[in-house]
Chain A
Amino acid sequence: MIVFWSTVGAILAKDLVLEFRNKETITSILSFSLLSLIVLNFALRPTPSLISVVAPGILWVAFTFSGILGLNRAFAVEEDQDAIQGLLLTPASREAIYLGKMLGCLLFMLVAEIILLPIFAVLFDMAPFKPMLMVVMFMATLGFASVGTLFSALAMNTKSREIMLPMLFIPIVVPIIIAAVVGTDLAFKGGGWQEISKWIQLMLVFDLIAVVFCAFGFDYVAED
């Protein structure tokens, strides 16, 4: 058990060092989500009264599509000089590799989201820093990262990777997108925990199933 978690930690640390050196993943997630905010602003032309209606949607469109960009990189970086082969040849269990990569993705996406949030607050005149929103963001991003890491590994070996990942990923994470948007809406409106609890529960169930299933599925995906 200790060996397992130290392996997870080592893989996570490796990805963190890599990210700290080139800062590519977080930068790409962040810049793409910022661009999404701007495009959506032009597309929807929100008036002050409309903003509160469309704000949760704008936020999650930005997070979802930029998240895909980050997830795409999760295994793309491992392709350089066949690093993935080296990783798979180590005695690390497949589940540990999956969890390490997944935690890395989760962390990068969360950091990018946290940085984007104040920009969003300024551009759309919202006050998004609420504990409820933080919980929603964490749960939803965990769902994205857990499913996305598996599909990123799948898509790595396909011909048109750029379209394969979103095609596999988005239909599967529909429950997370719905729960995140509704949860964010409730958080912005200042709803109570009572109202939001069933959405949190939905995400919790999804996240649990996703982490367990994807760790198990990764075993088959990364067999050779």
Chain B
Amino acid sequence: MDRYDVLRRLLLLTSGIMVVTVLYLIFIWVPTEKNLGVSQRIFYIHVPVAWVGFLAFLFVLIGSVGYLWRRSRGWDQLAYSAAEIGVIFTTLMLMTGVLWAKPVWGVWWTWDPRLTTTLILWLIYVAYLMLRSYGPGGDKGARYAAVMGIAGFIDVPIVYLSIYWWRTVHPQALVGPAARGELDSQMYTVLMVSTITFTILFIYLLMERFSLRKSEDNIEEIKAYASSLSVK
């Protein structure tokens, strides 16, 4: 076992313990919010999950730039792994958001800038993953994906701005989380613990996926080598 494996197992253990702790904190320890009621407890999952989603997409950007710059497979494997995790967590963010919006806002969805931008962001990285599975493999596929990974990230602020302006052009009955206000100290603690937990879980998942991807790439290489031998 090398240091990478030790760290990975340590992270698995830590995140396992912390997830149980956080579940206790969210569902038993923290008091129920006065205005929003019990549904507000989803907030302690919704926000950390959102944070991890964005963090993952930042890793996609870093991996993509790193790959185009350095041309080593490691950067590409990082970007690919982070994109998969990012899409999962963004999906969770959208789903928890929709579930929470119904009891609190009365609608499942509203086209407000943040929600709409998140949806577009999610679509961009779903397209990224589609490009990875439908596109060419090897270095070519890695280059294609890197270009898309960077384009997606650059695009997001412009998407946000345009949707923000668009909403002000078409004002509709917008229900925002105005009731949130200042967080109680107990609630703040739970949010922080939950965020740290999900971040540790993210790092663990990223390391796990990264080494798995490395093995996959190695197998591909061995297969290609083996078939080149049999041709002769």
**Chain B residues positioned under 8 Å from A199 (CB to CB):** 165
Total number of A-B contacts with CB less than 8 angstroms?
Answer: 88
6 contacts between A and B (CB under 8 A): A154-B131, A160-B134, A170-B123, A214-B151, A217-B150, A223-B140
Give chain B's interface residues, CB within 8 Å of chain A. 68, 120, 123-124, 126-127, 130-131, 134-136, 140, 143-144, 146-148, 150-152, 154-155, 158-159, 161-163, 165-166, 169
- Asked whether, in the complex, the Cβ of A179 is within 8 Å of the Cβ of B127, the reply is no
Q: Which of A156-191 contact B (CB under 8 A)?
A: 157-160, 163-164, 167-168, 170-172, 174-175, 178-179, 182
Alpha-carbon separation in the docked complex, A196 to B47 (Å): 36
- Asked whether, in the complex, the Cβ of A175 is within 8 Å of the Cβ of B136, the reply is no
**Chain B residues positioned under 8 Å from A171 (CB to CB):** 120, 123-124, 127, 152, 155
Alpha-carbon separation in the docked complex, A179 to B159 (Å): 10
Give chain A's interface residues, CB within 8 Å of chain B. 147, 150, 154, 157-160, 163-164, 167-168, 170-172, 174-175, 178-179, 182, 198-199, 202, 205-206, 209, 213-214, 217, 220-221, 223-224
What secondary structure prevails in chain B residues at the interface with A?
helix
Residue of A174, A198, A214, A220 touching B165 (CB-CB under 8 A): A198
Instruction: Write the chain B residue with the least CB distance to A214.
Output: B151
**Chain B residues positioned under 8 Å from A163 (CB to CB):** 130
**Chain B residues positioned under 8 Å from A170 (CB to CB):** 123
- Asked whether, in the complex, the Cβ of A167 is within 8 Å of the Cβ of B127, the reply is yes
- Asked whether, in the complex, the Cβ of B158 is within 8 Å of the Cβ of A220, the reply is no
